[in-house]
Amino acid sequence: MIRIEPRESASKLLTWGLPTISAILALLLAAIPLSFAGAPIFESYFQLFKGVFGSKFALSEMLTRATPLIFTGLAATLAFRARIWNIGAEGQLYLGALAAVAVGAGALDLPSYFLIPTIIVAGSCAGAAGMVIPAALKTRFGADEVVTTLLLNFIILIFVQYMLEGPIQDPMGLGWPQSSPILEQGMLPQLMERMRLHSGILIALLCAVTAQFMLVKSVWGFKLRAVGENSSAAQHSGISVKKTILSVAIVSGGSSDLRVSLEVKTALEIYGITCETFIDVGVAGMHRLMSQLDRINTHDLIIVCAGMEGALATVIGGLLPHPIIGVPVSVGYGVSKDGMVALNSMLASCSPGIMVMNIDNGYGAAMAAIRIIKN
């Protein structure tokens, strides 16, 4: 007779080996669609690695974009340890962001040391509210939190869309569904000059360490794990399962043209010219371009790196009066022909006076800019 018993403790080989094997299997499975698409597998993975660790800018962007995901992952992890299957972390993140904008975009004109904590508290409370409702339904009526949190995601997304197109829409956003930017004194301090990386990553890491300590060393963490392992036994031992579930819910509830742009930036900085890079402001999301337009307008010369149909140079040329150098990038599919369409589009631009470089010639654009600036 075969008898299956749980392990008393996992070995170090299992603890470290299982995640490693899982990562290798994930890469092998991802290689299947890559091979069907005709893409070189090893080159694809190399570019993936390079896009994250290939430069200081790439690393800083990865950490910047990872920061809200760390908070969201921590929230979900705490819930999962209590066997609360919170599938609504995405919606709760949006609620937190919405509350942060509502408080920090001008509703409260406070100094930085008051405004930043207020924004953090408001975002945390809004995210928590997004999970309190499913938790209350679970404890009161036994509703499945997988279903309630998943469906609540759609309600939250529609609500956020309504708010961005109505009550909190940026009056300077030309009708795009975006909110007004958070006040400067409400922004977290930057960690790297001319980079988006801010001190939020340090707060996220501190929260991760604190969460681990609370789970392992605190009475609250013991109750949470006990409810997760066996809620009936926890109830009989005097632990309030409903209160534990609700407490967990409150805590639980927060670019392809880049390589050419970096070539331009590096070449200019070698010659002692300071520049600012604006990423992901293409015509596919005009609201992102319009939100950065005032900052772009402060510069004396603009170099536009664009692939696909290369329309960004024309758009910026029609919006701003500055000298513009267009660099077509060999990014696109099929008829894009490795940048030929972007090149022809920039050459045929209806915005007069745009200078156009050869495909991917970031260095040439930098040298042209130096000639203009020094004259």
Residue-level pLDDT at 251: 44
DSSP letter at 182? Answer: P
DSSP H/E element including 302: strand 302-306
- Which pLDDT score, from 0 to 100, does residue 244 have? 52
Answer with the residue of higher pLDDT: 174 or 358.
Answer: 358
The predicted pLDDT at position 254 comes to: 33
Dihedrals phi, psi of 356, to nearest 5 degrees: -125, 130
Of 65-69, 80-84, 331-335, which range is least confident? 331-335
Task: List the single range of 44-53, 58-67, 212-221 with lowest mean pLDDT.
Answer: 212-221
Counting every residue, how long is the chain? 375
Summarize pLDDT for 231-262 with one digit per residue, the tens. Answer: 666 666 666 655 554 444 444 443 455 666 77
Torsion of CA 29, 33, 34, 35, to 10 degrees: 100
CA distance 313 to 335: 19
| pLDDT tens string 311-349 | 888 888 888 887 888 888 887 666 777 778 888 888 888
Token pair of 244 as six digits: 């534990």
For 303, the enclosing helix (H) or strand (E) is strand 302-306
CA distance 168 to 308: 33
- CATH 3.40.50.1970 in the chain is located at 258-374
Cα-based angle 325, 176, 71 (whole degrees, multiple of 5): 95
Q: Flag the least confident range among 221-225, 287-291, 296-300.
A: 221-225
Residue among 244, 241, 242, 238 nearest 218 (CA): 244
Domain 258-374, classified CATH 3.50.50.60, yes or no: no
Helix (H) or strand (E) holding 327: strand 324-328
* CB-CB contact of 357 with 325 (8 Å): yes
Alpha helices in 54-144 (DSSP H): 56-81, 89-104, 112-141
Mean pLDDT of 273-295: 73
pLDDT of residue 369 exceeding 50, the answer is yes
The C-alpha atoms of residue 219 and residue 216 are separated, in whole angstroms, by 9
